[in-house]
């Protein structure tokens, strides 16, 4: 005979499994939209109804609030794509912890990729590698990105590779976006740097609290 407690445990496990599936699909759709410069589709996956929605992208800064998130997405992919340009980010190694209360989830993906930029001499191939840490929140039975942080690890010429070409791992010497806040973490590869365990892997938790904000910056390598 199955007890009521056992039924609750099974229902929770099924709900977490369904949430895992939905979050994976949402992040996959967001990434595909980013790759193809579909600004509106990217924004549709963010919880823009939340005042503290956020997006931090490499060393571009931290963008807090719906208008700031729209601003950085516009800057990154709002322009017209040019012939020969390419961004192709992939999602691998999903690590998704759905909260015990089923309302939020802490997630990490590794993001190998490739790209191309163009100039007057033509197209130039790039390596693009990083990691994504994200908080998802369930709103009206739909999972959306609440906070997202893209950690750039490698952005370099295909021909020279990440050891020789360090020219693109940091921002160009241009002013920060007026809506950006200071970057919380940026430690791309260089021959002189030591890599640490950021973002860390999400651990099981019951409910999201204020103390969980920026959990991804914990240097616990589990």
In a domain, 72, yes or no: no
Q: Is residue 213 part of a domain?
A: yes
Residue 57 placed within a domain: no
Nearest-angstrom CA–CA distance, 48 and 25: 19
Indicate whether 55 belongs to any domain: no
115 occurs within a structural domain? yes
In a domain, 68, yes or no: no
User: DSSP class of residue 48?
Assistant: T
Per-residue pLDDT of the chain (222 residues; tens, 9 = 90+): 678 887 777 778 888 999 999 999 999 999 999 999 999 999 999 999 999 999 999 999 999 999 999 999 999 998 888 899 999 999 999 999 999 999 999 999 999 999 999 998 999 999 999 999 999 999 999 999 999 999 999 999 999 999 999 999 988 878 889 999 999 999 999 998 888 889 999 999 999 999 999 999 998 655
Instruction: Give the pLDDT of residue 1.
Output: 67
- Domain enclosing residue 110, as ranges: 4-48+79-178+185-217
Domain CATH for 40: 3.10.450.50
* Domain total in the chain: 1
- The pLDDT value recorded for residue 11 is 78
If DSSP codes are grouped into helix, strand and coil, which group holds residue 175?
coil
Q: Which helix (H) or strand (E) holds 40?
A: helix 39-44
């Amino acid at each position: 005979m199955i007890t009521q407690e056992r039924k609750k445990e099974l229902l929770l496990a099924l709900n977490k499994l369904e949430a895992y599936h939905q979050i994976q699909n949402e992040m996959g759709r967001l990434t595909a939209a980013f790759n193809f410069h579909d600004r509106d589709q990217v924004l549709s996956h963010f919880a823009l109804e939340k005042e503290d929605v956020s997006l931090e992208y490499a060393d571009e800064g931290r963008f807090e609030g719906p208008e700031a998130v729209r601003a950085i997405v516009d800057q990154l992919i709002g322009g017209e794509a040019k012939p020969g340009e390419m961004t192709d980010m992939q999602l691998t190694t999903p690590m998704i912890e759905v909260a015990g209360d089923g309302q939020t989830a802490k997630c990490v993906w590794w993001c190998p990729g490739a790209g191309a930029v163009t100039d007057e001499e033509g197209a130039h191939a790039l390596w693009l590698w990083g990691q994504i840490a994200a908080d998802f929140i369930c709103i009206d039975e739909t999972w959306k990105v609440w906070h997202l942080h893209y950690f750039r690890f490698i952005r370099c010429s295909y021909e020279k590779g990440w050891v020789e070409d360090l020219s693109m791992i940091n921002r160009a010497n241009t002013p920060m976006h007026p809506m950006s806040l200071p970057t919380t973490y940026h430690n791309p590869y260089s021959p002189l740097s030591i890599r640490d365990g950021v973002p860390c892997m999400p651990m099981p938790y019951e409910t999201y609290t204020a103390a969980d904000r920026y959990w991804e910056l914990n240097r616990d390598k589990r």
